[in-house]
Chain A
Amino acid sequence: MNFSEFKKLLGAEPRSTDPDFLRALDSEPSYRAAAREAVKFERKLEAAFSIDVPKELLERIARIPDPSEPEALSSSRGAWRWLAAAAVVVAGIGFASISWYESTFEWESVNEYLADHWEVDGTEFLERADGQPVDEAEAAELFASYGVEISPALAGRIDVLSACKTPGGRGAHMVIITDQGPVTLIFMPELETLDGHILAFDHLVAATLQLEQGSAVIVGSNEEIITPVYALARAGIRPVSRTS
């Protein structure tokens, strides 16, 4: 193996155990020097790729239950996490009826809740929007009743605000003012869901958002319009204990 071939193999597989490679390695000092430098580079590369795994993720994985066990359903939040996963599977192909589990909730998936809720309140609330923000103190009071605090940046953009039924209890239905038009934000204090998933329905797009406490879904006419609200809600709804 000539030096050029050796270097190519070294660049592709520095820890190769190929017999020809190993023979070449011992044949010349220049080959050994090249291999030493390659190993040094590999150590840096390994350090560069190395990222600490978030503790929160390990906890999420540790909570993965067996859906066939009845106790897995005793925690409504846990059950909904699974249901949210089911919702992800059908995302993009419209609504479908998902009946994986006997749930304590009225709806069996995020999709189903959203479809149901939208039919009743979605369009009507949008029509109520007049471009004038609600009283921030009123918004703060409602959110405080759910154990969370809302940032002034988000509160100042709420055009319509109403308490509403959400999976596991009550939450808040909002119409948010954006430069591109109104966007609906539904805060669900009792629901844990998967983050950042798109649910396409009825010519609208919805994105799920997992918050530090509870979750939300953002609904708009397209992804561009909902993305800023996703970021705003993510930063703007925090547990009270964290911010006070």
Chain B
Amino acid sequence: MSTESGKQERFDRLAGQYATDLYRYAMWICGNDALAKDLVQETFLRAWKALDKLKDSGAVKSWLITILRREYARTFERKVPKFSDIDQVVVEEEQEPSPDDRTEVRLLRRGIASLAPKYREPLLMQVVMGYSCQEIADELGISKSAVMTQLFRAREQLKEKLQRDGVTGKVHELF
């Protein structure tokens, strides 16, 4: 196998493994479908160029997220026109099993979209990317205890929103 074809195979594996998670991540931080797609594409373009330098395959996920977050920060600095697509995208998804669940999930999506970024992003890292609290702390450059507080508050706010919007359940009695 040539070096180039080996690189292509490695890249394909990486793309297959992380494209979905990165798109979800991008979509939930920017709320814009076109921008999310560009961010993911740009992330993989950069990943392709730097793939030879990546020696620790265990660090791939963190490496990609770091690229994507930096790219988003750059985009934000350029004040790209914002078109909020999150409602449009998520409303189209109808994969939940029952109408009640669908309602809850829809409310949760609205709740997630309305969370302050400092709460939404750690939650996104944990739920979508499977990061531990320590990994989130390392990525965001804050303490682990701060991350835990933000995660706790993020869930609290979402549960309060569900309760406020009329969805009840035992889960709310416990928190």
Contacts and interface: CB of A to CB of B under 8 A. Distances in A.
B140 interface: no
Interface stretch (A47-55, A158-166, A177-185): A47-55
B48 A64 contact: yes
A44 B105 contact: yes
A44 B147 CA distance: 21
Interface string A222-236: 010011001100000
Query: Chain A: interface secondary structure?
Result: helix
A186 to B, nearest CB: 17
B151 interface: yes
Interface in B150-174: 151-152, 155-156, 158-159, 169-171, 174
A223 B19 CA distance: 31
A92 B33 CA distance: 23
B41 to A, nearest CB: 5
A16 to B, nearest CB: 8
Interface string A29-58: 000011001101110111111111110111
Interface string B84-127: 00000110010110000100110011001000000000011011
A45 B108 contact: yes
Contacts of B23: 51, 53-54, 57
A128 interface: no
Contacts of B109: 48
Interface residues of B, number: 64
Contacts of B19: 53, 57-58, 61
A194 B42 contact: yes
Given A8-B148, A51-B93, 16 more contacts: A8-B152, A12-B149, A44-B104, A49-B24, A51-B28, A51-B89, A52-B93, A54-B33, A57-B19, A64-B11, A64-B41, A64-B48, A88-B42, A195-B38, A197-B80, A230-B81
Interface of B: 4, 7-8, 11-12, 15, 19-20, 23-24, 27-28, 32-35, 37-38, 40-42, 44-45, 48-49, 75, 77-81, 83, 89-90, 93, 95-96, 101, 104-105, 108-109, 112, 123-124, 126-128, 132-133, 147-149, 151-152, 155-156, 158-159, 169-171, 174-175
22 contacts: A11-B155, A12-B133, A12-B151, A13-B132, A13-B133, A13-B151, A37-B171, A45-B127, A47-B96, A48-B112, A51-B23, A57-B19, A57-B23, A61-B19, A64-B44, A66-B7, A67-B49, A194-B41, A195-B37, A196-B80, A223-B79, A226-B81
A-B pairs with lowest CB-CB distance, top 10: A48-B108, A12-B148, A11-B152, A12-B151, A53-B23, A37-B171, A53-B20, A12-B152, A198-B78, A195-B34
Interface of A: 7-9, 11-13, 33-34, 37-38, 40-42, 44-54, 56-58, 60-62, 64, 66-67, 69, 82, 85, 88, 91-92, 194-198, 200, 207, 210, 223, 226-227, 230-231
